[in-house]
């Protein structure tokens, strides 16, 4: 397991697209942090929620990127035909799916570390210039939540990739779900007067982890729901991957 996991990490490190994702995460984290600080009134910067929210705002793009990169690290195998060689090295397909999920987690962790470094650096410098006192406790709690959310997004992405296999299908499907289908579900459930049910949908569950201010599920509930959706996707990934002929 260890060597196959190490191979997965090496696969990621030896592709330019991975570093492209890291660069985009870095830029988005910087922009999100700068936008949040710059767009907040001076008196609001002293609010305890302010520094908490800086980290969570930066975590949102990292979570989306983590989800997408998680999908790519599985669907790339099918897109470029490398799955055959991967399965020759790791013929137990259930084991390969498990390792891909771990690689998804590692991808999320990596992206979140980049995000946190950029966010913390930008915030420390900028808030220092503005003479706003830093509240380490708020930042640490937010960072922990964000870390959990982004890592789970990576795992969920890998599981979805394992279930769908088609790169275009997985990426387009995920983006359409996040930005079109799930908002429509929110609206529909609201019209049916069961708006609370929308909090249990996949993107809302992940969003609930990194944003507790929306009045949705509590942190633990969001984590539980995100894990449940990941479990569903994992079962589908195991089923699909174990039955597929690699031709």
Partner 1 sequence: MIEVERLTKRFGSTLAVDDLSFSVAPGTITGFLGPNGAGKSTTMRAILGLVLPTSGSTTVLGRQYRELEMPLLRVGALLETFDAHPGRSGRNHLRVLAVAGGIPRSRVDEVLALVDLGAAGRRRVKGYSLGMRQRLGLAAALLGDPEVLVLDEPANGLDPQGIRWLRDFLRSLASEGRTILISSHVLAEVAQTVDDVVIIHRGKLVRHAAIAEVDALAAGSTTVRSPDADRLLELLVSAGLDARSVGEGRLEVMAPSEQVGEIAASAGVVLHELSATRATLEEVFLELTGEPGERGGA
Contact positions vs partner 1 (CB under 8 A): 3-4, 6-7, 10-11, 14-17, 76, 80-93, 243, 245-247
> Shortest distance, CB of residue 87 to partner 1, whole angstroms?
6
R_g over Cα of the chain: 19
Find tokens 């830093």 and name the residue.
134
> Shortest distance, CB of residue 96 to partner 1, whole angstroms?
10
Cβ distance to partner 1 smaller for residue 82 or 144: 82
Cβ distance to partner 1 smaller for residue 10 or 235: 10
Cβ distance to partner 1 smaller for residue 129 or 243: 243
Cβ distance to partner 1 smaller for residue 95 or 176: 95
**What is the three-state SS of 90-105?**
CCCHHHHHHHHHHHHH
> Shortest distance, CB of residue 221 to partner 1, whole angstroms?
38
Cβ distance to partner 1 smaller for residue 11 or 135: 11
> 62 CB contacts (<8 Å, ≥6 apart)?
25, 28, 29, 108, 111, 112, 114, 115, 146, 150
> Shortest distance, CB of residue 106 to partner 1, whole angstroms?
15
- Phi/psi-derived region of residue 15, left when phi > 0, alpha when psi is between -120 and 50, beta in every other case: beta
Supply the DSSP symbol for 179: I
- Phi, psi dihedral angles at 81 (to 5 degrees): 75, 10
Find tokens 């997004």 and name the residue.
153
**Please, are residues 107 and 66 in contact by the beta-carbon 8 Å criterion?**
yes
**Please, are residues 8 and 73 in contact by the beta-carbon 8 Å criterion?**
yes
> Shortest distance, CB of residue 76 to partner 1, whole angstroms?
7
Cβ distance to partner 1 smaller for residue 41 or 247: 247
> Shortest distance, CB of residue 70 to partner 1, whole angstroms?
17
> 45 CB contacts (<8 Å, ≥6 apart)?
37, 127, 130, 132
């Amino acid at each position: 397991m260890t060597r196959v996991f190490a191979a997965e990490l090496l696969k990621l490190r030896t592709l330019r697209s991975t570093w492209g994702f890291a660069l985009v995460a870095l830029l988005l984290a910087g922009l999100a942090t700068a936008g949040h600080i710059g767009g907040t009134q001076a008196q609001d910067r002293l609010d305890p929620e302010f520094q908490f929210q800086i980290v969570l705002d930066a975590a949102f793009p990292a979570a989306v990127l983590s989800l997408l990169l998680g999908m790519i690290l599985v669907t790339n195998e099918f897109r470029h035909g490398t799955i055959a060689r991967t399965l020759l090295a790791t013929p137990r397909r259930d084991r390969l799916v498990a390792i891909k999920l771990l690689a998804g987690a590692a991808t999320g962790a990596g992206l979140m570390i980049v995000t946190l470094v950029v966010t913390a650096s930008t915030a420390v410098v900028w808030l220092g210039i503005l003479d706003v006192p830093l509240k380490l406790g708020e930042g640490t709690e937010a960072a922990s939540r964000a870390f959990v959310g982004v890592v789970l997004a990576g795992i969920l992405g890998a599981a979805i990739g394992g279930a769908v296999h088609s790169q275009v299908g997985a990426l387009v499907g995920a983006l359409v779900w996040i930005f079109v289908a799930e908002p429509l579900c929110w609206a529909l459930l609201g019209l049916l007067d069961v708006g609370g049910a929308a909090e249990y949908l996949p993107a809302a569950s992940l969003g609930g982890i990194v944003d507790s201010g929306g009045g949705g599920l509590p942190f633990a509930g969001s984590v539980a729901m995100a894990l449940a959706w990941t479990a569903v996707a994992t079962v589908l990934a195991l089923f699909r991957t174990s039955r597929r002929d690699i031709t």
